[in-house]
Structures are given as structure tokens and as C-alpha cells.
Amino acid sequence: MAASMKIAIVDDEQDMRQSISQWLALSGFDTETYGSAEDALKALGSDYPGVVVSDIKMPGMDGMAFLKRLMAVDSALPVIMITGHGDVPMAVEAMRVGAFDFLEKPFNPERMTELAKRAAGKRRLTLDNRALRRELSDGTGIMKKLIGSSPVMERLREDILDLGQADGHVLIDGETGTGKTLVAHALHAVGAKAGRKFVLFSCAGQDEDVLADRLFGSGGENVPLLEQARGGTLVLEDIDALPISLQARLLTWINEQGTPAETRLVAISNLSEQGRTVEDVLRPDLYYRLAAMKIMLPPLRLRGEDILSLFARFSEQAADEYGCAAPEVSAQEAAQLLQAPWPGNVRQLINVAERAVMQNRRGSGKISSLLMADEDADEPGMTTEGKPLKEYVEAFERMLIDNTMRRHKGSIVAVMDELCLPRRTLNEKMAKYGLSRSDYLGH
């Protein structure tokens, strides 16, 4: 770890800079030296791959002012301050501002190395987490399937990253079709157990003896699921269908693992849509062990213009599969998509998009008729979450630009011509809706 991390040494005394640099270089660090805080600030950015060691008393910008500037650039950057003998109040103030630690002159070089290694370890963890967050926002890997730019989806991706990196068991709740199993896969993919076993099993529709045998084994030839998933992730769908007696055995298994758990358990429930909660049917002690880390997936009807971007993506995929064009969505149909209740959530939206493509291939039918056919007799035709006209117009406009950019593979000129927009207006609208030309090149 130390060899891959840099140490920026900032001190106006050349002898001190050189001695610290030589010692830390012998300890395996890649060192850089600066004679002033001003020079160091020009080189240290928000993702600096290392640690800063700085004297407090320097001419020009002193160490305290330098520390405050660094904290403004990157509050997670570890900074080790070097203070004069007995200058404890200044060291305490540096810690309050955000310093990682401090050393009093004359200091023990081995103490310097120990602090640098701890700071480098913390920095590596920070940078790794940032890289994972960028992976989530870039939509690479399995996270690419968690489409959407609505606040609830941004928060969901953040929750997946945070909980994925933690050790504890997780409870995932939400309505049918919201993507709970996909989230379980994502939790495993971004966590420490990513390269290990991932075992998925549904507790629904099984009698108690079969469940007991599959989960815990009965001494026969079948390897129980708890053993199959050892060291990895075990996902139990429909955890609410697990009988009370087996809940007790599952709790015992959880307690025997200790902390951190060797095998991570991810439990999935659908009960929230039935007017009950998983808390109603699980033993309290089991529920609280699982719900310490809980993810509640948002229903589609609360995801705003995500509905239009999802519809565009799914209809495009279906069109590729059937070898035909995806349907054009009118402003009225976009409003209907946004207002539909979507009781089946994303799964229902996929079905509607596929049927819209098949309809379009035949050259007949409207999206509104598919939505009406999907509504149950006792379901309201529209959601109660009314939105101002401006929101519908903006959502439609974003979808129109997105679809046109995708169809023309990022050609700005072609999009300007089709939508009759000047370049400046198109650029402003793309910036407003978070659309980037690079996302469409070569698609």
C-alpha cells in the first residue's frame, strides 16, 4: 500500500524536507517536496493519491492557513502537521480544523512512518470508495441496469454502495417488480465478497420440511444452502414465507457467525404492497438483526421522468430484438406514461414497452390502449401524484432529445435539423437535463 501512495512534504527548511523525504522514501513511499504552501497548493488536487506532511510555522502562508485551504479542496485528505516542542494548543487547533494527526519536534522517525502508513491506508480506502461511486454514477457493470436519474434512484445507488461495503446482513423491501433481486446482485457485486459465491433461493411455495432440508440440511447428500453460500452471499427471497421454527434456526445461524459475518445474508420481502410489513411476520429478534441495514425500493410511480427514460431504453432493446423501429412517443402519451399507476412497476413497464414495439411493427395501436388494458377494474386510471404542467413538458422534452441523440448516434447537426433547434439552445437544454453527447457516440 505504502509504495503506491505519495507523500507531499511541505517545509520551508530544506534540511528538514530532505531528511523527512529520505526517511519516508526508505519506508517505501513516493515522496514529493515543496518549499512553500503556495507551491504545494498548485500541485495538490481533490483526488491527490497520497498524504500531506506539513510544518505549521512557515513564512508566507503558514501551516494552519495551508491546512484550511487543503480541507476546502478535499476534506478527506490526510494531513500530518509538524509542530514545535510544547506547541500543543496549535496542534489541537489543527486537529479541530481537520488534520489527521500531529508530530512534535524533535520527532521519532519511526513514529512518522507509522503515522504515514495509517494515513495512507485511510487515503487508499477513501479513493477506492470514490472510484466505486464513480462506477455507480457511470453505470458500469451490473449497476448499468439500475437506470434512472431521479433523486430516489440516486439515493438508492448511494445506499447500495454504502451497504455493499459494510459487513452486516441486509433486508430489501419494496413492491413487486421494483428490482429487489437486481439490488441484491448489486450489493454483492460492489462488496468485499464480490468474487465469492452468490446463492439465491425463494422461501415461497415450499413446505416446512423441504425448506429445512434445503437451508440447513438433513444429513443426506444435498449440500444445504447455508453451506453452499459459505464465505459469500446468501439471498433469501420471500423471507416472510419462512415458518417461525425455521426463523429461530436462521437466527441461531446468524448469531453463531459473529461479527463480521463469514456469510452475508440478504433477505427480500414483498409484504409492503399488501398493507402489512415484514416486521409483522418475522420474529422481532430476527427482524432487528436483518433490518439494521434496510433498503426500501421506490415504486415506479414515484420516479418521475425516469419512467420515460426507462420506456425509451426498454422499447429500444425490444426493437433491436424484433428487428423493427421503436415507437415514437407523443407528448400526450408521455404524460399518460408519467401519470399511470404502474402497479407492476418496472416489470410492467418492460412488458408495455415490448408490446408497444410489437404494435408499432404492425403499424397500429397506441400506447394509451396498452396502459388501459393493464389496469385492473379496481385500479384508478391515474396516480394521485399530480404534477405541474411544466414538469410534464420538461420530462417530454428531455425524452425527445435523448431519443433523437440516441437515434443519430450523437450527431449534433442531425439532431439540430430534426428538432429545429439552434446549436446554443440544444447545448443549453442538454446541460439542463444532464445529457452528454459522449453517451451516444457509437451506440
Half-sphere exposure of 235 (CA within 13 A, CB side): 18
- Contact (CB, 8 A) for 357 and 322: yes
- The span from the CA of 210 to the CA of 212, in Å, is 5
Looking at residue 27, the DSSP 8-state letter turns out to be: T
Q: How confident is the model at residue 93 (pLDDT cuts 50, 70, 90)?
A: confident
Please tell me the distance from the alpha carbon of residue 360 to that of residue 267, in angstroms, as a whole number: 40
Q: What is the tens place of the pLDDT at every residue in 219-277?
A: 666 789 999 999 999 999 999 999 999 999 999 999 988 778 899 999 999 765 566 78
- Let me know: does 343 contact 376? Beta carbons within 8 Å: yes
Note the pLDDT tens digit of each residue in 65-82: 999 999 888 888 999 999
Residue 262 grid coordinates: 463469514
Measured in degrees and rounded to the nearest 5, phi and psi for residue 427 equal -60, -40
Q: Is the separation of the CB atoms in 250 and 242 below 8 Å?
A: yes
Report whether pLDDT(344) > 50.
yes
Q: Which pLDDT score, from 0 to 100, does residue 394 have?
A: 77
**Per this entry, what is the length of the chain?**
443
H/E element, 269 = strand 264-269
Is residue 381 pLDDT above 50, yes or no? Answer: no
Residue pair 197/228 in contact (Cβ under 8 Å)? The answer is yes
CA of residue 348 relative to chain centroid, distance: 24
Q: Which helix (H) or strand (E) holds 80?
A: strand 79-83
pLDDT at 433 over 90: no
Asked if the model's pLDDT at residue 40 lies above 80, the reply is yes
User: What count of Cα atoms within 13 Å lies in the side-chain half-sphere of residue 293?
Assistant: 19
What is the reported pLDDT for 283?
92
How far apart (Å, rounded) are the C-alpha atoms in residues 195 and 200? Answer: 15
Tell me which residue has cell 402519451.
333
Strand ranges inside 113-253, DSSP E: 170-173, 198-202, 233-237
Q: How far apart are CA 102 and CA 105, in angstroms?
A: 10
Distance separating alpha carbons of residues 320 and 276, to the nearest angstrom: 41
Percent of the chain with pLDDT over 70: 88
Q: What nine digits make up the cell of 142?
A: 451490473
The mean pLDDT value of the chain amounts to 84
Amino acid at 162: D
